Amino acid sequence: MAIKFDFTNAMNSAIGEAHGINPRAIEALESRAQAIHQTIQTQRKSGTLGFYHLPYDDCLVRAVRALAATVRKTCENFVVLGIGGSALGAQCLCRALTHPYHNLLPRKMRKNTPRIFFLDNVDPEQVSGLLNTMNLKQTVFNVVTKSGTTVETMATFFLFYNRLKRAVGAAQIDKHIIITTDPHKGELHRIARAHRLRTLPIPDNVGGRFSVFSAVGLLPAAVVGINIRALLQGAQAMDKRCRSTRLWRNPAYLNAAIHYLADTKKGKTMSVMMPYSYALTVVADWYCQLWAESLGKRLSLDGRRVEVGQTPIKAIGATDQHSQIQLYNEGPNNKIITFLQVDKFRKQARIPHLSGLSPSLHHLMGVELGELLNSELLATEFALTKNKRPNVKFIFDAITPENLGGLLFLLEVQTAFAGGLYNVNANDQPGVEEGKRATNALLGQDSPQALQKKAELDAFQKRKRYQCL
């Protein structure tokens, strides 16, 4: 693994005291860091923090690889039905470690792996559209939800189940479905047993947003030919690097502390992740879920109303230099930016020498695109730092399964530790329950609570409205 973490431009030496972190502020957190570290270690050992154990489950790797090999041979389309943490991890791995236009290539150029689709929504146009692109006889669906009650995933599962039954017949349907869910309980687990469907487990102690190294992330990755063992080795290596109790020596704890201090002491209420690499774009989406859902909490661990959480934002380099950077440079100084840099890309493409061009463009001649992209990153970093906007950087020597596994694991540890700094439960999501209850009530769920919620919603709908147009 070869990732570097550079946080020079978040410090007071680079951007001054008003916006930069004073090293003493980090040192002042050391004793809290010790306590948080102890809690995390206890939870790791007791099994509450399941994500720590995932990179070491060799038994799972063998099961996933065997299943993936079967799937690869027989199917042309692999469709993941999952939403949020049940889709983002696998999407992130596939974007980073397959061809950028994987689904448009002929099978041979895809290394004999299937096309891969992630259906993470219930838009009827999108769902119908997806059906136009594939022959269901050549398709395998991977249904991913831990609880087995996620409305969106179950809705699309039922829909495709019915279509599959018509297309391949009830007797063959088990060849076209793989269930990833709780191994012991839940509706999807029950359905899988009743219909003898193939299953992979999501351990009870692993939340969706921490599940990338479980079967949730590993099966889709293995199906498209990603070396999942190397991925996990990268996570293991990062686990070793993130064991120090000293903030200065532990990159995950340190970056958590930098973000926490930037948010709570310097008004950086937003955390932008900006990869300068197409392959790493979905890392930003994955991080946005991890950071938002883990830390965005009303109540502290001791039950006080705190309403904390930094808002994560995805930006793409160099593209968003032509969209967001104007605001980042000149607008309110309320963001900390994390760049992802790749030193050596897997492909080269060089701007040719052309004649007859204006001298103002001569300096582009012969430049390799990776060099151009990294010059743009450095230039953006330079301009932001001049404007006293804090920024940090993860530098990959190259995009490999090891490095990616390392970065994702680091960000998980960082998030768990940040939960300690913010003093919130990083593993729950109580703020989505009200919406779920309301959805079920609107769809006519039959329970006293649902009926009461429906009445509330009717009143909400009947209020006097402000409208224009």
Catalytic positions, please? 293, 322, 436
Asked if residue 289 binds a second copy (CB under 8 A), the reply is yes
Q: How far is the CB of 52 from a second copy (least distance, A)?
A: 19
Q: How far is the CB of 273 from a second copy (least distance, A)?
A: 13
Does 193 bind a second copy (CB under 8 A)? Our answer is no
Question: Do the Cβ atoms of 138 and 75 come closer than 8 Å?
Answer: yes
Choose between 45 and 249: whose C-beta lies nearer to a second copy: 249
**CA neighbor of 159 nearest in space, from 119, 207, 109, 205:** 119
Contact between 135 and a second copy per CB under 8 A: no
Using the rule CB under 8 A, is 292 a contact of a second copy? Answer: yes
Peptide bond into 235 cis (omega under 30): no
Structure-block tokens of residue 89: 């991890």
In angstroms, give the least distance from the CB of 63 to a second copy.
26
Q: Does 444 bind a second copy (CB under 8 A)?
A: yes
Pairing of strands 115-119, 77-81: parallel
Decide whether 70 or 183 has the Cβ nearer to a second copy.
183
Q: Which of 25, 63, 151, 230 binds a second copy (CB under 8 A)?
A: 151
Q: Which two tokens stand for residue 402?
A: 């090891």
Q: Which is nearer to a second copy, 57 or 263 (CB)?
A: 263
Q: Are 415 and 256 in contact (CB under 8 A)?
A: yes
Task: Concatenate the DSSP letters of all residues of 418-465 into one string.
Answer: HHHHHTS-TT--GGGHHHHHHHHHHTT--SHHHHHHHHHHHHHHHS--
Dihedral sign computed on CA atoms, order 123, 124, 128, 131: positive
Residues 211-270 that bind a second copy (CB under 8 A): 241, 248-251, 254, 269-270
Establish if 201 lies at the interface with a second copy (CB under 8 A): no
Least distance (Å) from a second copy to the CB of residue 129? 4
Report d(CA 221, CA 405) in Å as an integer: 12
Chain centre to alpha carbon of residue 256? 17
Residues 325-384 touching a second copy, rule: CB under 8 A, are: 325-335, 345-352, 354, 356-365, 367-373, 375-376, 378-380, 382-383
Identify the CA nearest to 375 among candidates 389, 387, 363, 362.
Answer: 363
Beta-ladder partners of 142: 80, 178
Tell me the closest approach of the beta carbon of residue 234 to a second copy, in angstroms: 13
176 vs 297 by CB, closer to a second copy: 297
Cα 227 from chain centre: 19
- Given the complex with a second copy, which of 39 and 329 has the nearer CB atom? 329
Count of Cβ atoms closer than 10 Å to residue 180 Cβ: 31
In the window 392-411, what residues touch a second copy (CB under 8 A)?
Answer: none
Is 17 a binding residue for a second copy by CB under 8 A? The answer is no
Q: Which of 34, 133, 449, 452 binds a second copy (CB under 8 A)?
A: 133
Binders of a second copy among residues 53 to 92 (CB under 8 A) are 83-86, 88
Tokens of 442: 């609107």
Number of amino acids touching a second copy (CB under 8 A): 159
Closest distance to a second copy from the beta carbon of 40 (Å): 18
Single residue of 74, 128, 449, 452 touching a second copy by CB under 8 A: 128
Instruction: Find all residues with CB under 8 Å of 380, minimum gap 6, and list them.
Output: 317, 318, 321, 325, 339
Q: Cis peptide leading into 349, omega within 30 of 0?
A: no
Q: What does the block give as tokens for 76?
A: 């042309």
Among 25, 63, 155, 173, binds a second copy (CB under 8 A): 155
Residue 316 in contact with a second copy, rule: CB under 8 A: yes
Closest to a second copy by CB, 230 or 438: 438
